[in-house]
Chain A
Amino acid sequence: MLRVRDIFLDVLQVCLRVFPWPSEPRLIRVGNPGRDAPVLVTCNYDYTIRRVMRALRGQNVYLLVAPTRGINVWCAAAGGLFTAHQVISILRTSGIGGRVDHRRVILPQLSATGVERKLVEERTGWHVVFGPVYACDLPAYLAAERKTDEMRKVRFPLIRRLEMAVAWAYPISVIGGVVLALGWPHLVLIFVAMVWAVALALFGFFPWLYGPMGYAGQRNPGWTRYLVLFDPVVRRNLLVWLALVVALGVYGTGWGGWNGWSLVGWSLAALFVVLLISMDMAGSTPLHKSGLHEDRLLHIELDSVACRGRAMCWEVCPKNCYVIDTRLHKASIVEPDACVQCGACIVQCPEDALAFVAPGGERIPPETIRTHKLNLLGRRALPVSSRNSEPRPDQDHVNR
């Protein structure tokens, strides 16, 4: 049963989804956990914690809330805020060691991008297991003690897409609405309606607008990548804009009493909102890599000589890009274009058999990816070559 407070918080936190919402790192007893109860870890983004708690109703487990600065699991892991150190911290400071007889801790699969399993195990003696991607799969996972292919894979169903639409529409409509209210209060309503329509349409029709591939190929070079018109991946978003122009025209001539210039003005405003949300829309979903920088469209290189088929890559890949040949003890990449560049496979590979390769041919080695979280987003390709000489994580280093 959802309480009023939960519903209120759900709505508020979805509206403010793009902002961190920290909750105190702590140990939570779910149900009546005994000395052999499973130990789970999550981030300290309040919305996630509440959803995990909801999924765990009826279970008897310990849930550890790691200090990830109020950011969700995948973003924190990709941004270097959910690493082995945050897991070590919560294992040490929560007192969990005294409450259970085992030493097995279950992490969310998407944290594999940031949490170097080996480091946690060496420092704490706890055995790290990566559980399912989604909290809703936890009961089935805990019952079967194994992950299915579906549990391993990121999904982007309609409900999550609408959530993202709200996360975009709310701040844009509030900021734009406040600015308009200062000078043109009569335009506020139509502007807010337009923003919500664009966001809901873009995310609602996302699978049809974007297709299955995302930025597997290259994007346009230079500033033209920001123009929806020329971008092969997001060109179809213009359909949403055209539909909106028609709607605006019908409204303007039927009820608004607009002249031609008003319609042009509103059409341009609508185009701006479409462009703003489309700028890196695919990259803001769990399904695709970011396409903002073509020099950062990396691919994964597998050293099949070094590989011993220990299947960590297969275990943590959120897109099921790998298959393991259990007879030859070798992994192979079967879906290279589906890769979202989260880097989890590289971070976890016990043999260091995986690496990113930049379009220019530069190899970004595992130790760089482990320390600098060059995955998914960010400054990754920038000092690639200079970073190759940086020390390994946790390595003492004397500068002279």
Chain B
Amino acid sequence: MGTYVWMRILESRPFRYDFGIRLLSLGHIDAIYARVTQLARGPRVLDVGCGTGNVALRLAARGLHVTGVELSPEMLDVARRKMSPGLEARWVQTGAVELTDHFQPVSFDTIVSVLLFSELSPAEQAETLRQCYLLLRRGGQLIICDEVRAPTLVRRSLHNLVRLPLAAITYALTQTGTGAVRGLEEKVAEAHFTIIRREANRLGDFVLLEAEKQEGSDAEGA
């Protein structure tokens, strides 16, 4: 078992995930969770790649009907443990390219996804977006938050300067990391969504995209 040492550390990763992401984002992640929660219109919301439920639980606290989808059962265990009494949420353990196996077409008003796309291969990103399109009602809302490549060489260098030591420390402590998504906006547009909002941090290496499945859209994401 070659990567055995790595394995031993990895198995407890979900329990350190929140700490790792907070460290990696220098504490900004809470503001990002809050912003996504604020933008989501609902009332039927799907959180794809919900992890330990940070956004899903905030949405549930707003009274929205939340379904959290996550591949890792351990992450979902943490999410369930974090649920305060009185909150209601539905948790489904499955992959991002298996959404249509679980949910009916046009059954959600909003789909959110924070820090998931950077964990998917390009082919998985395209397939996940296609399925999200099918699941959203017309006029439905897609919110994606993820790390992207900074737009200019100067910014990319700055990003690396700040990011690399931080990523190394975070990885050593918590085995949590993220990678940049390439061409996220193009992929969202290719899946027939219309981007209506784009917010980025100063370095331009983290974006929030809000997109819509247009009312008059004929394409059903074939």
Contact = CB atoms under 8 A, between A and B. Distances in A.
Contact of A88 (B80, B91, B92, B95): B95
B39 interface: no
Q: Which 7 A/B pairs are nearest by Cβ-Cβ distance?
A: A93-B123, A85-B95, A378-B11, A25-B121, A371-B73, A18-B5, A75-B7
Given A67-B124, A123-B101, A399 B88 contact: yes
A287 B98 CA distance: 36
Interface string B64-84: 000000011110010010010
Contacts of A25: 121, 123-124
A26 B2 CA distance: 23
A75 B10 CA distance: 10
Nearest to A79: B7
Interface string B110-131: 0000000000111110110000
A interface residue count range (under 10 / 10 to 19 / 20 to 34 / 35 or more): 35 or more
A75 B4 contact: yes
Given A17-B3, A67-B124, A80-B74, A88 B11 contact: no
A397 B91 contact: yes
Given A92-B97, A377-B11, A397 B92 contact: yes
Contacts of A320: none
Contacts of B11: 79, 377-379
B178 interface: no
Interface of B: 1-8, 10-12, 71-74, 77, 80, 83, 87-98, 101-102, 120-124, 126-127
Interface centre among B12, B87, B93 (most CB of A within 10 A): B93
Interface in A52-105: 67, 71-72, 74-75, 78-81, 85-86, 88-89, 92-94
Interface centre among B1, B92, B95, B98 (most CB of A within 10 A): B1
Given A93-B121, A397-B92, A18 B80 contact: no
A75 B2 contact: yes
A285 interface: yes
A397 B90 contact: yes
A390 B7 contact: no
A378 B5 contact: no
Contacts of B91: 396-397, 399
Contact of B102 (A19, A283, A396, A399): A396
Given A25-B121, A75-B4, 15 more contacts: A24-B121, A67-B124, A71-B7, A72-B1, A72-B3, A75-B1, A88-B98, A89-B96, A93-B121, A93-B127, A283-B4, A376-B1, A377-B11, A398-B88, A399-B91
Given A75-B2, A85-B98, A377-B7, A372 B74 contact: yes
Contacts of A67: 120-121, 124
